[in-house]
Structure 1
Amino acid sequence: MRTLLRPAPLFLLLTYLAVSAVPFVPMLLGKPLERPWQVLGVAFVGWLAAWAIFKRPAWFHWLLIPAFVALPAEVYLITYYGQGISTHHLGIIAETSPGEALDFLGSKVWLMLAVMAGIVVWWVASWGVARRTRELDWNDGSRPVVLIALAICVAVWAYGHKFGIAPATAKPGHTGWKLPPLAPWARLPFEFDAFAQSWPFGLVARGVDYYKERTYLAELSQRSANFHFGARQQEPDSEPEIVVLVIGESARADRWSLNGYGRDTNPRLSGHANVVNLPDVITAVSATRLSVPVIISRKPAMQSLKDGFAEKSFITAYKEAGFKTFWLSNQISFGKFDTPVSVFAKEANVIEFVNLGGFTDRSNYDEVLLRPFGNALADRAPKKLIVIHSMGSHWNYSHRYPKQFDQWQPSLFGVDQPAYTDITIKPQLNNSYDSSILYTDWFLAQLIDRLKGSQQRTSMLYVADHGQTLYDKSCKLAFHGHNTKYEFHVPAFVWYSDQYQAHYPGKVERLLRNRKAKLATENMFHTLLDLGGIHYPGERVEWSFVNPGFKQHKRYVDSYGWADYDNAVMKGDCREVIGREKPLKREN
């Protein structure tokens, strides 16, 4: 013990203790930590394994370089966003250029450099101590015993991973040649999430997840790798032109005052000239990863439940027609619900995912997109397509807007983690939701103001991916993933500049003529290309509502199969969509 209390070994042990304590930063901030004992256990076993395998710190200390380098980012994200480094953040780090990083950090860059310099000095100092000291070498006979015990634990874990774990009430047994599942009593007392949450060992799990997501993304991209539209602009000229698509999130049409809602949730958009509201637009599914591909590609609504698509999005068509393309997102890039969207985002020339908080309560407001949007507008390319993927009204609603937009009371503003399944907070939930729409109105007006200020030929289409159910009347449902009218009926509008109208008077005339047509998100791909005057072989001009050949088509929604939305009844206060005819079978 006296040996361990000497300055050199004590410094090294305190270094490893400090590194392992990173997951407990939330507790210093007064926040709870999930699975704290499991995280402690993982850290203990991890260090035990490292020492047992490598025998002395000098032989494993260099493996800690990634943990030291990433430590400032981990603490920063935990402190300000309530989560550590995720696959999304690893994607940002891997794909952000130094110039973009400097632009994003601004004046913070000097502080970050100073912190990183301190971390490097800390690692070098501890490395020097690890090389010189021999008091922490593991030389006695307990080391092979521990190695055998660890090998047994790994074997048990691998067995359970391969053959599963039997339910607590099931009797052990097996069928044919397959070995029986692991007995419940033999299950190791650690969850994979606790391992991923630990530090520094959790970095391995996060790296593996990132690799899996990249592989999955590559597989999805491979399906359309050789696809080309053969697109061109019908009447190309040298005049600058900008087309913008804004993908909204979790917005329902009947909460927009543009659609007749009693509260003035769209005071700024309603005051803008050339805003053409589209009051009757439906989405086929009420999930972002399924609905967005239908908006931006030719993926049919009734194939939206299938993973991947063999074609690229309208982004590639614009690139083929000579436009520089941008994807600016306040959502996240990797994950079970996000990678299917990212596969299309990767088609753009410039890609920026700016949300460091993911879908946590403390993620960035959508105004964070105004900086990269301004950069895109200032880009020297004469013709540009800009896609904005906003956070919109994603739960938690009260964390989607700053205090000055907390218009309706009582609200959930300032409540850290409200129980969204608690129907007693229905008034606060609805008030906060309406305030999030008010903020969206401000954000969209900011985009229009910047486009108008460019004095160029510009057009912008906004459409939400899906809506929300909000304990309406006696309805006991909330949020999305249901088959209600509130989730299928989404807000949408088109704005155009005076310069656009002067160049495309026919498109504006047809837009105004068809503004009250029965539309679906399937119309958006075709209309977005038509807005830029882009055509390609095999196009369906009848699905573009700015085209003279426009025709309304059947609108199907995912409700017990594919139900005809316009031949359905809206059941009960939840307004559940029930087709009058037998729904068509889903293709999963």
Structure 2
Amino acid sequence: MNSEADRLRDSSRATHRGVWFACTAIAVVLLTMIVLGHDGRRIVQLLALAAPALAWMLWPIRSSVLHRIRTVGIWLWVMAFAFDGVLRAYLLDTYQAAPDSSFVQAAAANTNSRETYEYIAMHWRAVLIWSGAIAVAALVVARSAGRGVRHADRWPRVVVVFVALALIVGSIAHLSKPWRRLHPVLFWTNWHDSVHRLRANWADQHKEREMAHERARSVAPVIEKEGPSTIVLVITDSINRDNMSLYGYQRATTPRMQAHKAQLADEMVVMRNAWSVDASTLPSLRNMFNFGQPQSEQPQHVLALARAAGYKVWWMSNHDDVAIEQQHAKLANVVDIVNRVPGRAGASLDGELLDCVQEALEDPAERKLIVVHLMGAHPHYSLRFPAGQNPFDDRVDDVEEGLEKSGRSAWVRKFRQEYDSAMLYHDFVVSETLQLTRRIGRPEGYRAWMYLSDHGQEVGHGSDHAGHSPSTASGYRIPAVIWRSSPEWAPSADIGERPFRADWAGWTLAELLHLRWNGSGSDRNALAADYRWVPPDLPVKVESFVR
């Protein structure tokens, strides 16, 4: 009797060991494939989304039919993560690009079946290697998925706890929209839809750009200044002027810009009271380039006007954004986008654009407009400066003490340190664009440089919050700086104290370009003698637009 019980107990233990071995094998496949295509906290998010598959393995199922369904279901579940990881890893290894980058989406939207075959024929070795990884994963999971628990034997408490945690964590992950959209099934379904929408929208966007060029030609723009001209427009993201020592901030975040100001004196104007009227990038850029009137019946685009007047236009960017590329960048003659990872995960540093700026400045074209679109201090702040270069980390200074006295949480204070470090690196990049503009080009030619941010950022200024902030004034407080090789403003004009609106920046840029056209005016040009300020209608209360 005891021998029979021992035999059953040994058999149960062997079954449990087999199930644990199978679960471990599947977990290793999942972890390996997820790590191939993701990094940082996304690994944890993907593991949480995959956890229910492991819990399902430990759930007793007696029915042979349901057991086969579970085996197939677990195999499909795990292989979805495997395909996701391998595809992402291939794109990162080959192109340093994410699948939802405009680079990859545009390539997919612009590829037919014949081109796909030709691509595979050219890159068959790499495709074969990554396909081998998929095949190995498929074999391991296939051999393991069928070994799920069949009988309701008594499991140790640790197993019950594991199953409960896996189900709870998996449920939370699937209920969270930011996490759920990373699930391979949802992500690639949405990716497929995005590619089809992009393909469908291209024709419309192309027509919109052609119409913009036609509208520009219809108003007969001309350049009123003779001789060579080079204008550089630097647009950055998420910069709050309150964090720039150029504007009086206590931390030395902009030493190079301050050195330029000390050297250039009246040639360089710092707009002390600059504001955006939008708290996010897309509407801000639409306003900026369409003279604050993007919804008008016949909107003009400053890039189209510049081209129609005779400028060669460059658009170089560290942003990967399909909408920006289609609505603005492709109006330029030359488009150069160095970042191929969209959104907050993009870790490409703005300094990567400096070589592009130099090449454009060295181009022999007589009249040039160079638009440089920087990532600036777009969250995540820690990705906006080189690793290990955070001089404000754990430093107890006046800023840190002030934040503590204001009741700011530890995580907001940490973000402020990272934000200010991003500002310091940003100062290097922006200053280099100004230095290159001043140094390169024909010495007898006219040169101008303009810098501003699309919107501000809240990092513990008015609330215990870090990030985009349409509900606080910090979301709209921006820097704006202008330099001309031959100033055309009187030092006594005190232009820097004028309030400045980013949605009117197109008028000021047109002044720097010396553009005139039928219907152009000057009362919204911050450099003009007849400039007339009108306060914007912001969704937050601003006590004064002038300090």
Same fold (TM over 0.5): yes
The range that moved more, 313-322 or 516-525, is 516-525
Match of 1:541 among 512, 517, 522: 522
Partner of 2:102: 88
Give the alignment's TM-score, normalised by structure 1.
0.62
Match of 2:236 among 245, 248, 251: 248
Partner of 1:372: 356
Partner of 1:211: 196
Check conservation: 2:381, 2:422, Cα contact below 8 A.
Answer: yes
Match of 2:499 among 504, 515, 518: 518
How far, CA to CA, are the matches of 1:328 and 1:27 in structure 2? 27
Partner of 1:292: 285
How far 1:365 sits from its partner (Å)?
Answer: 0.9
1:353-432 mapped onto 2 (5 Å cutoff): 353-361=337-345, 363-403=347-387, 405-410=389-394, 423-432=409-418
Give the AA of the match of 1:370: L
% identical equivalent positions: 20
How far, CA to CA, are the matches of 1:511 and 1:293 in structure 2? 33
2:450 corresponds to 1:439:
no
Deviations 1:216-274 (A, max 9, x none): 4654664564242334333354x432111111111111211121122222211111123
Match of 2:536 among 556, 559, 576: 556
Residue 555 of structure 1 aligns to a residue in which SS? coil
Query: Could you say if the C-alpha distance between residues 67 and 284 of structure 1 is closer, same or farther in structure 2, counting changes exceeding 3 Å?
Result: closer
Residue 552 of structure 1 aligns to a residue in which SS? coil
How far 1:277 sits from its partner (Å)?
Answer: 0.7
How far, CA to CA, are the matches of 2:177 and 2:420 in structure 1? 39
How far 1:350 sits from its partner (Å)?
Answer: 1.2
Match of 1:450 among 413, 416, 436: 436
Match of 1:118 among 105, 122, 125: 125
How far 1:48 sits from its partner (Å)?
Answer: 7.0
How far 1:347 sits from its partner (Å)?
Answer: 0.8
Residue 490 of structure 1 aligns to a residue in which SS? coil
The range that moved more, 265-274 or 480-489, is 480-489
Check conservation: 1:250, 1:465, Cα contact below 8 A.
Answer: yes
How far, CA to CA, are the matches of 1:391 and 1:29 in structure 2? 20
How far, CA to CA, are the matches of 2:453 and 2:123 in structure 1? 41
Check conservation: 2:269, 2:495, Cα contact below 8 A.
Answer: no
Check conservation: 1:234, 1:533, Cα contact below 8 A.
Answer: yes
How far 1:309 sits from its partner (Å)?
Answer: 8.2
How far 1:496 sits from its partner (Å)?
Answer: 2.3
Give the AA of the match of 2:449: M
Deviations 1:375-412 (A, max 9, x none): 2222232211111111101112122111464221228x
2:275 corresponds to 1:282:
yes
Query: Could you say if the C-alpha distance between residues 22 and 458 of structure 1 is closer, same or farther in structure 2, counting changes exceeding 3 Å?
Result: farther
Residue 495 of structure 1 aligns to a residue in which SS? strand
Give the alignment's TM-score, normalised by structure 2.
0.66
Query: Could you say if the C-alpha distance between residues 364 and 340 of structure 1 is closer, same or farther in structure 2, counting changes exceeding 3 Å?
Result: closer
Q: Which has the higher contact order (CA 8 A, sep 6+)?
A: 2
Root-mean-square deviation (Å): 4.5
Structure 2 runs not aligned, ≥5 long: 1-27, 57-69, 78-82, 111-119, 134-141, 143-173, 396-407
How far, CA to CA, are the matches of 1:511 and 1:74 in structure 2? 54
Deviations 1:149-168 (A, max 9, x none): xxxxxxxxxxxxxxxxxxxx
How far 1:524 sits from its partner (Å)?
Answer: 0.9
How far, CA to CA, are the matches of 1:446 and 1:43 in structure 2? 59
Give the AA of the match of 1:465: D
Give the number of equivalent residue pairs: 431
Check conservation: 1:517, 1:552, Cα contact below 8 A.
Answer: no
How far 1:522 sits from its partner (Å)?
Answer: 2.7
1:103-142 mapped onto 2 (5 Å cutoff): 116=123, 118-120=125-127
How far 1:538 sits from its partner (Å)?
Answer: 0.6
Deviations 1:450-485 (A, max 9, x none): 112214322111111111122236x23332232322
2:240 corresponds to 1:260:
no
How far 1:509 sits from its partner (Å)?
Answer: 3.3
How far, CA to CA, are the matches of 2:307 and 2:282 in structure 1? 23
Deviations 1:352-387 (A, max 9, x none): 221123233451110011122222222232211111
Check conservation: 2:205, 2:327, Cα contact below 8 A.
Answer: yes
Residue 292 of structure 2 aligns to a residue in which SS? coil
How far, CA to CA, are the matches of 1:527 and 1:520 in structure 2? 10
Partner of 1:493: 481
Give the AA of the match of 1:118: R
How far, CA to CA, are the matches of 1:20 and 1:204 in structure 2? 22
How far 1:298 sits from its partner (Å)?
Answer: 2.0
Check conservation: 1:281, 1:492, Cα contact below 8 A.
Answer: yes
How far, CA to CA, are the matches of 1:190 and 1:483 in structure 2? 24
Check conservation: 2:86, 2:130, Cα contact below 8 A.
Answer: yes
Partner of 1:330: 318
Check conservation: 1:285, 1:557, Cα contact below 8 A.
Answer: no
1:310-349 mapped onto 2 (5 Å cutoff): 311-334=299-322, 339=323, 342-349=326-333
Residue 243 of structure 1 aligns to a residue in which SS? strand
How far 1:544 sits from its partner (Å)?
Answer: 1.3
How far, CA to CA, are the matches of 1:94 and 1:404 in structure 2? 37
Match of 1:25 among 32, 36, 45: 36
How far 1:71 sits from its partner (Å)?
Answer: 5.9
Give the AA of the match of 1:435: S
Deviations 1:491-550 (A, max 9, x none): 1101223xxx0xxx5x343896422111111331011011111111111211112333x3
Residue 409 of structure 1 aligns to a residue in which SS? coil
Give the AA of the match of 1:86: D
Query: Could you say if the C-alpha distance between residues 94 and 39 of structure 1 is closer, same or farther in structure 2, counting changes exceeding 3 Å?
Result: farther
Partner of 1:73: 91
How far, CA to CA, are the matches of 1:119 and 1:275 in structure 2? 52
Deviations 1:411-434 (A, max 9, x none): 8xxxxxxxxxx9322322212211
Partner of 1:151: none
Query: Could you say if the C-alpha distance between residues 309 and 472 of structure 1 is closer, same or farther in structure 2, counting changes exceeding 3 Å?
Result: farther
Residue 515 of structure 1 aligns to a residue in which SS? helix
The structure number with the bigger radius of gyration is: 2
Flag the structure with higher helix content: 2
Query: Could you say if the C-alpha distance between residues 119 and 567 of structure 1 is closer, same or farther in structure 2, counting changes exceeding 3 Å?
Result: closer
